[in-house]
Amino acid sequence: MGTIVLARIDDRLIHGQVMTSWLNYTGANRIIIVDDETANDTFLKMIVTSVAPANINTEVFDMAGGVTALKNLADNDKVIVLVKSPAVYVELMKQGVILEKVNIGGMGAKEGRSKFYKNISASEAEKACLAELVNNGVAVSIQIIAEDKAIDVAKLLS
């Protein structure tokens, strides 16, 4: 069975930091994006998948498709999973996708969110989702790039 080498929350999904730092660090050979909005927008989907390196299989799924893809990884898959919200990981977990760690890379300021840690913002609902992940044994940390020290989110929630 394949492995999820990085499960990341990032508003921007794919961008320079993900491509360089995390692909090198994890040795990933596949990126799975689970985001209903992106999956249902042909133009957005094309943009997001075109940003990934050509040698990395990059796919965009809605929730149902993401669950299926993540439960049926090939043996040699080393997958980076990208989502925009912690609620997606809560739902994936409820659907039987096993998550050991979740990384927060980018949750920017926007309406309904307040400062959570440095340049990371979260709404009360997002904090509740992060707490649910932690309470279900998922190690949640903030780590922008692989070289950064990971910040344990469980300590920030208490």
Label the pairing between strands 139-142 and 151-152: antiparallel
Provide the token pair at 149: 């020290």
Label the pairing between strands 30-34 and 57-61: parallel
Looking at the DSSP assignment, which residues form a beta bridge with residue 51? none
Place of tokens 């913002």: 121
Cα–Cα distance between 95 and 45 in angstroms, integer? Answer: 24
Active site residue 15: yes
Q: Which of 15, 78, 101, 113 is flagged as catalytic?
A: 15
Cα–Cα distance between 94 and 89 in angstroms, integer? Answer: 8
Cα–Cα distance between 102 and 90 in angstroms, integer? Answer: 11
Looking at the DSSP assignment, which residues form a beta bridge with residue 44? none
Active site residues: 15
